[in-house]
C-alpha cells in the first residue's frame, strides 16, 4: 500500500470527517465531553466541517491517501497549529479567522438547536485546564507545533499511516529546531506510540466534572539535531 500525505482540500473534507468520527468513537475524552444519549452526528459533522474549512487556511491540516487508487478515500488525518512565538502578537488575519470560526459554530447552534450533545461545561473545563497546563509546560519562547488531531480510520490503523502523518510535521520541527506538544486521552497504546516518536510525558492533566474524570496525557518532544 503506497500512501501519500497531502494538504487537506475541500473535496477531502467529508472523508476526513468520517475518519475523525470513526477513530474517536471510543476515545475517552469524546465520551466524557459528549453526552452519547443526545449526541447529534450531523451537528458534529457541521462543527468538524467548520473546523476543516478554518484549518485549510490557518493550520497544517493534512490527509493520508492511497496513491495507487485515483480519487482514493481519506485513510488518516492530522491537524497541527504552527508555533506562535511569544513575542509575536496574533495577526489580524488569524484573529479574524478565529472569529469567523466562532460565528460558524454559533450558526450551527442555531441551525441544529443546540450543541448536539456537547457538554459545554466540560468543554470549558478542558479548555481552562489546557490553558493552565500550557502555561506551566510551554517554556520555549519560539512556540510549539501543537497537535490538535491525529486520526487513522480504524481498519487502516497499525499500518504506519499515523506515523507518516506525525513524522511529516516532526521532520519540519527538527529542521526548524522547534518543540512539539500534544494531548492524548488514551494512555494505552497512544503514550507508547508517541514515546517511540520522541515525545515525553510532561503532565497528567485531570479534567473533572463531579465524579466523572477524564485524564489527558500532555507530551512534549524536543527537536532532534543530527
Ligand atoms: C493513534 C493513531 C493515530 C496511530 O496511528 P496508526 O496508523 O495506528 O499508527 P502506526 O501504524 O503509524 O504506528 C506508529 C508507531 O506506533 C507503534 N504502534 C502502533 N500501534 C501500537 C500499539 N497498539 N501499541 C504499541 N505501539 C504501537 C508502531 O509500531 C509504530 O512505531 P514505529 O514507527 O517505531 O514502527 C491511531 O491508532 C488512531 O487514530 N487512534 C484513534 C484516535 C486517537 O487516539 N488519536 C490520537 C489522539 S492524540
Helix (H, G, I), strand (E, B) or coil at 195: helix
Question: Do residues 188 and 79 make contact, with C-beta atoms less than 8 angstroms apart?
Answer: no
pLDDT tens string 151-171:
999 999 999 999 999 999 999
Residue 85 lies in a domain: yes
Span from the CA of 157 to the centroid of ligand 1 (angstroms): 7
Mean pLDDT computed over 171-179: 97
Mean pLDDT computed over 8-18: 97
Residue 226 lies in a domain: no
Determine the residue of 21, 152, 192, 221 to mutate for testing ligand 1's pocket, defined as the one with the most ligand atoms within 8 A of the Cβ atom.
Answer: 152
Mean pLDDT computed over 189-212: 97
* CB distance 184 to ligand 1 below 6 Å: yes
Determine the residue of 193, 194, 198 to mutate for testing ligand 1's pocket, defined as the one with the most ligand atoms within 8 A of the Cβ atom.
Answer: 193
- 154's CB contacts (< 8 A; 6+ apart) are 22, 23
The answer on pLDDT for 2 being more than 80 is: yes
User: Residue 39's pLDDT is what?
Assistant: 96
The answer on pLDDT for 189 being more than 90 is: yes
pLDDT tens string 16-33:
999 999 999 999 999 999
Residue 193 lies in a domain: yes
User: Residue 67's pLDDT is what?
Assistant: 81
* CB distance 23 to ligand 1 below 6 Å: yes
pLDDT tens string 64-105:
999 877 767 999 999 999 999 989 999 999 999 999 999 999
The answer on pLDDT for 178 being more than 90 is: yes
Nearest residue CA, atom 24 of ligand 1?
189
The H or E element that residue 47 is part of is helix 41-58
pLDDT tens string 99-139:
999 999 999 999 999 999 999 999 999 999 999 999 999 99
User: Residue 49's pLDDT is what?
Assistant: 98
Question: Do residues 50 and 108 make contact, with C-beta atoms less than 8 angstroms apart?
Answer: yes
Residue 40 lies in a domain: yes
Supply the DSSP symbol for 214.
Answer: E
User: Residue 222's pLDDT is what?
Assistant: 98
Question: Do residues 170 and 198 make contact, with C-beta atoms less than 8 angstroms apart?
Answer: yes
**Pairing mode, if any, of strands 212-221 and 179-184?**
antiparallel
Which atom of ligand 1 is nearest to 194's Cα? Answer: 16
Confidence of residue 226 (pLDDT cuts 50, 70, 90): low
* CB distance 13 to ligand 1 below 6 Å: no
CA atoms within 13 Å, Cβ hemisphere of 147? 27
Span from the CA of 24 to the centroid of ligand 1 (angstroms): 13
**Cell digits of residue 34:** 459528549
Q: Count how many domains the chain has.
A: 1
Which atom of ligand 1 is nearest to 158's Cα? Answer: 11
pLDDT tens string 142-153:
999 999 999 999
CATH label of the domain that carries residue 67: 3.40.630.30
Span from the CA of 19 to the centroid of ligand 1 (angstroms): 15
d(CA 18, CA 140): 35
User: Residue 125's pLDDT is what?
Assistant: 98
Contacts 24+ apart (CB under 8 A), 203-206: 203/133, 203/136, 203/137, 205/129, 205/130, 205/133, 206/129
Which atom of ligand 1 is nearest to 147's Cα? Answer: 48
Which residues span the domain enclosing 27?
A: 3-221
Amino acid at each position: 500500500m503506497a500512501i501519500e500525505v497531502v494538504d487537506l482540500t475541500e473535496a477531502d473534507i467529508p472523508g476526513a470527517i468520517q475518519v475523525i468520527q470513526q477513530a474517536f468513537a471510543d476515545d475517552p475524552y469524546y465520551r466524557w465531553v459528549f453526552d452519547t444519549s443526545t449526541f447529534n452526528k450531523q451537528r458534529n459533522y457541521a462543527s468538524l466541517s467548520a473546523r476543516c474549512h478554518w484549518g485549510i487556511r490557518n493550520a497544517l491540516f493534512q490527509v493520508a491517501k492511497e496513491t495507487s487508487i485515483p480519487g482514493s478515500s481519506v485513510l488518516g488525518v492530522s491537524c497541527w497549529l504552527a508555533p506562535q512565538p511569544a513575542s509575536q502578537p496574533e495577526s489580524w488575519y488569524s484573529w479574524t479567522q478565529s472569529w469567523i470560526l466562532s460565528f460558524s459554530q454559533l450558526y450551527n447552534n442555531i441551525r441544529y438547536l443546540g450543541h448536539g450533545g456537547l457538554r459545554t461545561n466540560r468543554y470549558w473545563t478542558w479548555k481552562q485546564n489546557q490553558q493552565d497546563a500550557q502555561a506551566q509546560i510551554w517554556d520555549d519562547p519560539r512556540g510549539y507545533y501543537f497537535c490538535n488531531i491525529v486520526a487513522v480510520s480504524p481498519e487502516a490503523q497499525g499500518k504506519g499511516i499515523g506515523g507518516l502523518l506525525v513524522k511529516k510535521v516532526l521532520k519540519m520541527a527538527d529542521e526548524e529546531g522547534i518543540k512539539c506538544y500534544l494531548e492524548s486521552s488514551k494512555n494505552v497504546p497512544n503514550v507508547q506510540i508517541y514515546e517511540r516518536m520522541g515525545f515525553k510525558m510532561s503532565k497528567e492533566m485531570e479534567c473533572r466534572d463531579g465524579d466523572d474524570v477524564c485524564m489527558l496525557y500532555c507530551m512534549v518532544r524536543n527537536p532532534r539535531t543530527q
